[in-house]
Amino acid sequence: MTPRSRWLAGLAAAGSAAAAVLVAPQAGAATAAATHRVAPGQSVQAAVDAAHPGDTVELRPGTYHQTVRITVAHLTLRGAGAGAHDVRLLPPAGAAPAAVGISVSGAPGVRVEDLTVSGFAQYGIFGTHADGMTVAGVVAADNAQYGIGQEKSVHALFAGNVARGNGEAGILLANAVSEEGGALDTLGARITGNALSGNKMGVVLRRVRDMTVAANAATGNCAGVFVVGDEGLPRAGDLTVRGNVVSGNTRFCAATSRLPYVQGSGIVLTGVENTVIEGNTVTGNSGDAPMSGGVVLFHSFVGVPNTGNAIHDNLLTGNGPADIADRDTGTGNTFSGNTCAVSLPAGHC
């Protein structure tokens, strides 16, 4: 057992659950950050509301039928179990599922760590107008729309999470969820080291710029990684998708008012510019939908082409109808150093 594990185990066994919130200032000055400890049956929101910038709200192992809204800067909301499954946030009992499990609004530097959030009607975790929001070590499962989502925000880090069984995307980053407009500069947001399975789409980047999607595993979705732009200015682009494993995304997802049916899509670019797709392993993504294939370039649904994108040094095998499918009319897209068997048109392998 590691020192951290021993400390957490001792924490779980210590103290009484009778108090609504236990506050333990850390060593140092009187203004040092405090840890607010919450047990099942107590109010997480009350602990959050009592916290000051830089504090931690720590949830003891168990199930919490609650929602949480965070507006406190630099707050950490953390599960105290041995893993994310030990602390579970579910919709309040006896009512229709709440829209969002954990919401972060207008607060910089918020961290959400080491817990499970499941069963909500829209998002497991959602951030808006956030700067530097971090979500790490979280399981976001079986939410009706998105596991983890964010809009109108910058400097995000989503790392080491599991997003599975969500009705739309496991992870979504967007300029705005319900508004049109040009692409948002995310100022270097990162999605890294996540496991994404059984969602409609593993990762969706919608109308964003300047971010990286790296070292994730997307499998068993309808589409692995979906990068979306349109006619808005500035255009979506200047993105990097690097070193991901995108495999076996062969689920069938029916058409909607926004999209045709989706099946067997590995990495899809639609209406974006100056994006780099490099060093990915893309295997076994197969279907007969308009966007099926390993790496697919497809014009946006308002007719805007992909331009200036670089697809290079990827390993692509067993994708159908092609490992690389350029179904677009855009200019300046380049294909080099890829290991693959079939491309449409020929010549990109």
Rounded to whole angstroms, what are the CA distances from 51 to 15, 32, 74? 20, 12, 10
Which tokens hold the place of 88? 């579970």
| Residue-range domain boundaries for the chain | 145-344
Average pLDDT (314-332) is: 96
In this predicted structure, what is the pLDDT of residue 40?
A: 97
In this predicted structure, what is the pLDDT of residue 20?
A: 42
pLDDT(257) > 60: yes
Average pLDDT (181-196) is: 97
In this predicted structure, what is the pLDDT of residue 24?
A: 46
Average pLDDT (244-252) is: 97
Residue with tokens 């076996």: 248
85 three-class SS: helix
pLDDT digits (tens, 9 = 90+) for 197-209: 999 999 999 999 9
DSSP state letter for 30: T
Q: What is the pTM of this model?
A: 0.90
pLDDT(2) > 80: no
CB contact at 8 A, 279 and 313: yes
pLDDT digits (tens, 9 = 90+) for 225-238: 999 998 889 999 99
CB contact at 8 A, 347 and 323: no
254 three-class SS: coil
- Average of per-residue pLDDT values in the chain: 91
Q: How many CB atoms lie within 10 A of CB 138?
A: 28
pLDDT(9) > 90: no
* Interatomic CA distance for residues 280 and 269, integer angstroms: 14
In this predicted structure, what is the pLDDT of residue 31?
A: 63
CB contact at 8 A, 269 and 275: yes
Nearest 10 degrees: Cα torsion 269, 274, 280, 284: 20
Q: Please give the share of the chain, as a percent, with pLDDT higher than 70.
A: 91
DSSP state letter for 73: T
Q: Does domain 145-344 sit in CATH 3.40.50.720? A: no
pLDDT digits (tens, 9 = 90+) for 13-42: 333 332 344 444 444 444 689 999 999 999
pLDDT(60) > 60: yes
In this predicted structure, what is the pLDDT of residue 219?
A: 98
pLDDT confidence band for 178 (50 / 70 / 90): confident
In this predicted structure, what is the pLDDT of residue 10?
A: 40
111 three-class SS: strand
